[in-house]
């Protein structure tokens, strides 16, 4: 019985990736806008920075919670995979862990020192926050690239040893990483554009669109290179998404990206804020579909090795009979937490509860 754990893991990963694409993107936009606001003495950029930061703050902890959930799901349902990863990918996972430890305090420091310390120092804290955000996937994405096309894992499986940084020798990792970062910045831009449109801040909308469109245009060729690389390094996934069961997802993703591009361009060129809502939704949909393809198309393998792989069951938990009653209760309560969080999100961003003086 490995299907349900695989679905639960997939659900947690999808939710986490969608949330963190917002936080990583808005983190950079906030930090960079803050720096530019200081350098150019531009109060409107300052407002963009604050709005982007407000989005980040609301999403950050909840997205982090789902990261923790992934860890527990992996350890509980796929103990062999986590035992292997903590050995073979020790160094990359450590990079991610240290980055998390820098990221959250730097968010707090950025927030609480706003306007109270030298703007240059404040901007530096913001940049630390943004860069630590980029470094988290720099660690964790190695796991995704390794299970798509093993490099470090390959070394280990063939010789019993692996270089601690071998995962970074994989070309697929770098393309996947760049694609993830560009997607985050693009999503961050479109989400900021949406919030600024809600607040009637025209310049903010244009800045958001610029990020959204600029990084979408960078993301498209990187995505194509990723697809081509999968064709030579991870044929099983390539075939599943190109001709197989995940082809509809690929088609949907391409459609979502093209629609996003045209809507975004129209919104930006014609100055139509009304499109910002759809652009934000489509950008998140594109991330969702992309991750769904990347993670789901490996089924029934956990680690894909060219045209075959190591089945999910090889990593699954057989040490106990999984108590399904507990699993269903947990899923129910996790859904409750999502509903509560969405309510909080609504109040924080759209009713502007978080933004008003207390």
Range 41-70, binding other proteins (CB under 8 A): 47, 50-51, 53-54, 57-58, 60-62, 64-69
Site for other proteins (CB under 8 A): which residue of 1, 97, 224, 251? 97
To other proteins, the closest distance from the beta carbon of 294 in angstroms equals 21
Contacting range for other proteins; rule: CB under 8 A; set: 100-108, 172-180, 206-214, 229-237: 100-108
Q: What tokens does 303 get?
A: 């680690």
* Region 308-347 residues binding other proteins, contact defined as CB under 8 A: 310, 313-323, 326-327, 329-330, 333-334, 336-338, 340-341, 343-345, 347
* Residue with tokens 């754990």, as numbered in its chain: 5
* Region 127-146 residues binding other proteins, contact defined as CB under 8 A: none
To other proteins, the closest distance from the beta carbon of 54 in angstroms equals 5
Q: What tokens does 134 get?
A: 């980029």
To other proteins, the closest distance from the beta carbon of 3 in angstroms equals 15
Site for other proteins (CB under 8 A): which residue of 3, 39, 112, 307? 112
Residue whose CB is less far from other proteins, 51 or 219: 51
* Region 151-170 residues binding other proteins, contact defined as CB under 8 A: 164
Site for other proteins (CB under 8 A): which residue of 90, 165, 227, 278? 90
To other proteins, the closest distance from the beta carbon of 298 in angstroms equals 15
Judge whether 204 and 51 are in contact, CB under 8 Å: yes
Residue whose CB is less far from other proteins, 268 or 299: 299
Site for other proteins (CB under 8 A): which residue of 17, 31, 93, 222? 93
Q: Say how many residues touch other proteins, by CB under 8 A.
A: 85
Check whether the bond before 74 is cis (ω within 30° of 0).
no
To other proteins, the closest distance from the beta carbon of 80 in angstroms equals 5
Residue whose CB is less far from other proteins, 11 or 227: 11
**Separation between Cα atoms, residue 233 and residue 12, nearest integer Å:** 26
* Region 267-296 residues binding other proteins, contact defined as CB under 8 A: none
By the rule CB under 8 A, 100 interacts with other proteins:
yes
With a CB cutoff of 8 Å and minimum separation 6, the contacts of 249 are 241, 289, 292, 293, 296, 297
Residue whose CB is less far from other proteins, 274 or 320: 320
**Separation between Cα atoms, residue 43 and residue 190, nearest integer Å:** 21
Residue whose CB is less far from other proteins, 52 or 172: 52
């Amino acid at each position: 019985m490995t299907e349900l754990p695989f679905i639960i893991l997939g659900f947690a990963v999808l939710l986490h990736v969608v949330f963190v694409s917002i936080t990583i993107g808005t983190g950079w936009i906030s930090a960079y806008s803050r720096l530019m606001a200081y350098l150019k003495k531009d109060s409107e950029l300052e407002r963009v920075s604050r709005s982007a930061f407000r989005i980040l703050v609301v999403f950050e902890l909840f997205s982090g919670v789902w990261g923790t959930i992934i860890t527990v799901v992996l350890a509980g349902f796929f103990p062999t995979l986590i035992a292997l990863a903590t050995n073979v990918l020790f160094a990359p996972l450590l990079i991610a862990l240290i980055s998390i430890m820098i990221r959250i305090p730097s968010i707090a420091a950025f927030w609480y020192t706003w306007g109270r310390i030298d703007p240059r120092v404040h901007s530096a804290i913001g940049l630390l926050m943004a860069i630590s955000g980029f470094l988290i996937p720099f660690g964790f994405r190695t796991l995704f690239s390794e299970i798509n096309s093993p490099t470090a894992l390959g070394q280990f499986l063939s010789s019993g040893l692996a270089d601690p940084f071998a995962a970074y020798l994989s070309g697929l990792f770098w393309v996947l990483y760049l694609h993830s970062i560009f997607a985050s910045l693009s999503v961050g831009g479109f989400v900021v554009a949406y919030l600024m449109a809600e607040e009637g801040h025209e310049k903010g909308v244009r800045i958001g669109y610029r990020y959204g469109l600029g990084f979408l245009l960078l993301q498209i060729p990187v995505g194509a290179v990723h697809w081509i690389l999968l064709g030579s390094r991870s044929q099983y996934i390539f075939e599943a998404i190109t001709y197989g069961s995940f082809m509809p997802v690929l088609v949907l993703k391409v459609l979502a990206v093209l629609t996003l591009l045209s809507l975004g361009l129209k919104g930006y060129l014609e100055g139509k804020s009304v499109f910002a809502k759809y652009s934000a939704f489509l950008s998140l949909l594109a991330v969702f579909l992309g991750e769904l393809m990347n993670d789901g198309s490996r089924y029934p393998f956990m680690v894909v090795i060219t045209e075959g792989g190591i089945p999910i069951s090889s990593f699954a938990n057989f040490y106990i009979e999984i108590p399904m009653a507990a699993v269903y209760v947990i899923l129910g309560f996790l859904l409750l937490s999502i509903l509560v969080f969405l309510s909080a999100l609504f109040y924080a961003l759209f009713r502007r509860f978080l933004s008003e003086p207390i």
